[in-house]
């Protein structure tokens, strides 16, 4: 398949505490680095992931649409899993607003800190369009 020009992809496994944090702009990501797990699909290892994310310019996301579906047990092997799909505009420093689509697979896992399970991001896929200069 031919490449769709001007997009990038990041897929990783990382922790999160709540869904709202998923949409924090990239320039706040430094707060989240400690939340990264070791395994990562595209970028492996916490450090590499951190490094990759830190290499991204700061951004601001505006979420316009949000949808989610529960993932069938058969797929998730009994682990409560949620598919979250978001769409909207993202603005990087150069003041250009671009469409983005982002989807997450969230799974509930027992938390060592709490009695209640917490959501963790098993997958994060972020794509946006860049106009070719």
Residues in touch with other proteins (CB under 8 A): 1-9, 11, 27, 41-42, 52, 55-58, 63-72, 74-77, 83, 85, 87-88, 92-94, 99, 101, 103, 105, 122-123, 125, 127, 129-132
Least distance from C-beta 113 to other proteins, angstroms?
Answer: 25
If the CB atoms of residues 4 and 18 are measured against other proteins, the closer one turns out to be 4
DSSP string, 85-105: EEEEEEEETTS-EEEEEEEEE
Least distance from C-beta 121 to other proteins, angstroms?
Answer: 10
If the CB atoms of residues 46 and 88 are measured against other proteins, the closer one turns out to be 88
If the CB atoms of residues 2 and 115 are measured against other proteins, the closer one turns out to be 2
Q: Determine the 3-state secondary structure of 10 from DSSP.
A: coil
**Local structure of residue 115 (DSSP, 8 states):** S
Least distance from C-beta 9 to other proteins, angstroms?
Answer: 5
**Cα–Cα distance between 96 and 46 in angstroms, integer?**
30
Q: Strand locations in 5-117, DSSP E? A: 14-15, 59-70, 81-92, 97-109
Residue 61: Cβ within 10 Å count = 19
Least distance from C-beta 31 to other proteins, angstroms?
Answer: 15
If the CB atoms of residues 55 and 114 are measured against other proteins, the closer one turns out to be 55
Q: Determine the 3-state secondary structure of 49 from DSSP.
A: helix
């Amino acid at each position: 398949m031919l490449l769709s020009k001007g997009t990038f992809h990041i897929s990783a496994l990382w922790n999160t505490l709540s869904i709202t944090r998923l949409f924090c702009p990239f320039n706040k990501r430094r707060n989240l680095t400690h939340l990264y797990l070791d395994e990562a699909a595209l970028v492996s290892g916490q450090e590499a992931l951190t490094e990759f994310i830190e290499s991204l310019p700061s951004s601001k996301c505006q979420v316009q649409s949000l949808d989610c579906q529960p993932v069938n047990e058969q797929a998730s092997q009994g682990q409560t899993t949620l598919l979250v799909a978001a769409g909207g505009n993202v603005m990087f420093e150069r003041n250009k607003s671009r469409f983005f689509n982002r989807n997450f697979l969230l799974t509930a896992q027992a938390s060592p800190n709490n009695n209640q399970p917490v959501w963790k991001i098993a997958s994060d896929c972020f794509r946006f369009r860049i106009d070719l200069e």
